[in-house]
Structure 1
């Protein structure tokens, strides 16, 4: 029968309305029963799954689509904002309990903003994400956009910052005008590029003016959009920035439990029951969530192409070791 982890994964995917993952795990259970010689049970399970999939297709069941027919920015904003329609789901995130709860709080307040307004309260909507690369900051921005059914606009900093005095601040004003006019999630990624401390030894006059403009615009902003800034180097940010944000969320590398969850999520289509988890987790310790996921993908490809789709401890530890070596 299904393992405890598979049962939990089935229930979670059902609660999240993630049919694809639900069917994938159910097929794993059927395959496991077939390997045990329970061919009748395996056949019944597979037939039930296939019937459910056909029924869903006949009803044209499809996941909810994110808002609006919003088009890529044109005119002066072309090249400054990059539009993404996000499909990421909450169950794609593997985060610490604290970070998960704080993101849930943002979602709850955004969904209940009308109720908060009745008491003169505003939802959190100006957030600063900090943490090392690959810890889930950008993915969390995509999930917030998807869950709120809003488009995600990423600010292209390379095109924002120019060498001409005053031009960057003018472009920044255009962006904040768009923030006011179009409700969406706006992501300033690699934010330290414009948020560097004023007076730093490498301070550039134009960057200082941009930072001053950003501080003014973000403080004056009263739109309904969600503004996110993400940085891998919070120590470089000007201290005046911190009080402009409603919440500062620090992302960490995954702990042992999170590493296992990441691996199980990414390899849900494979049988992972026989893995030597202690060895696998020990090998992956210190990697970012993104690196753990990529190592799983490397191992999965090798398993499919060379080992009859059988995932082994050796395959995963080899893939993890390559990622660890790449960090050095």
Structure 2
């Protein structure tokens, strides 16, 4: 059975002629049936909603899944919040958001929706993508990553229509919609070097984000927060800053990873963190996986300390990007 609050909202908005509210209630109902694996019923409801669309409405019609092919990459999330090394404030804010979605029925009974628009900013490798995936895992929804190579067309008119297709496709399913490098599509509209068409695309993008129902959790990540349009900051309900990996953070991460995988390094986590002082969390995971891979290949008699030392030396000799003048 569908939730009573959705049915009441559907009838009230329909009777009152509020097309946008009706659309949102119907989309939430379809998303709930999709989450329950009631695919046939969800498809019938989606078809009915598409046929009902008011020609004068500014809301885009629903898009069938095949129309969004190439725009999204879907993965089954596996990361957990407990796997991540996060500042206390970031961990608490994320836990609060997850609780809101777990207890959304209670919030909705009081006429309040859970927050669902999140901005993550921080240097490369600080864990933005991992945190977005962990949110999807904890809320138990698919993790959808926007594919810019499919979204951004040769002509800006194509980009706008693909944006419509993308957002229309995700509106009727609970998910985490992840925009990596969000500044690539949401740059400051006051930039005099950008064309009017690009500014219209940014305006369309922000309007689409505004209209998404709360069962779609939008996570936007950027390494260059200063490039984002100022309206992005106003629209994001949760704004979190992920810092560069610290020595203490690396030690904590290595200990947690070793406990989770059962892989012993044969050297103290402090020693490894000191030897890898310039790496990010993402690179630290690559290093740990290098050690694990070598241990597997060398067999049961392998010396973890010797292998870790060997990998540390290899990482010390890795090619580094040239500094720019």
Q: Same fold (TM over 0.5)?
A: yes
Q: Find the aligned partners of 2:175 and 2:37 in 1 and give their Cα distance.
A: 10
Shift in alpha-carbon separation, 1:152–1:306, aligned structure 2, 3 A: closer
In structure 2, the partner of 1:162 is 153
Structure 1 ranges of 4+ moved more than 6 A: none
Q: Which runs of 5+ in 1 are unaligned?
A: 1-65
Tell me the secondary structure at the aligned position of residue 143 of structure 1: helix
Tell me the secondary structure at the aligned position of residue 178 of structure 2: strand
Deviations 1:67-93 (Å, cap 9, x if unpaired)? Answer: 8598xx742211112221222222332
Q: Find the aligned partners of 1:284 and 1:96 in 2 and give their Cα distance.
A: 20
Tell me the secondary structure at the aligned position of residue 166 of structure 1: helix
In structure 1, the partner of 2:274 is 282
Q: 2:220 aligns with which of 224, 229, 233?
A: 229
Deviations 1:150-170 (Å, cap 9, x if unpaired)? Answer: 111111112111232422222
In structure 2, the partner of 1:310 is 303
Q: 1:110 aligns with which of 82, 101, 109?
A: 101
In structure 2, the partner of 1:47 is none
Mean Cα displacement is larger for which, 294-303 or 148-157? Answer: 294-303
Tell me the secondary structure at the aligned position of residue 240 of structure 2: strand
In structure 2, the partner of 1:299 is 291
Q: Find the aligned partners of 1:318 and 1:155 in 2 and give their Cα distance.
A: 37
**Are positions 1:326 and 2:307 aligned together?**
no
Measured after TM superposition, the shift of residue 192 of structure 1 is 0.9
Deviations 1:206-233 (Å, cap 9, x if unpaired)? Answer: 3222101012222233342111111111
Q: Which runs of 5+ in 2 are unaligned?
A: 1-34, 40-63
Tell me the secondary structure at the aligned position of residue 195 of structure 1: coil
Pairing of 1:24-39 with structure 2 (within 5 A): none
- How many pairs align? 260
Pairing of 1:114-263 with structure 2 (within 5 A): 114-263=105-254
Q: Find the aligned partners of 1:129 and 1:221 in 2 and give their Cα distance.
A: 19
Tell me the secondary structure at the aligned position of residue 170 of structure 2: helix
**Are positions 1:266 and 2:261 aligned together?**
no
Q: Is the 8 A contact 1:283 1:317 kept in 2?
A: yes
Q: Find the aligned partners of 2:225 and 2:154 in 1 and give their Cα distance.
A: 24
Measured after TM superposition, the shift of residue 106 of structure 1 is 1.1
Q: Is the 8 A contact 1:259 1:284 kept in 2?
A: no
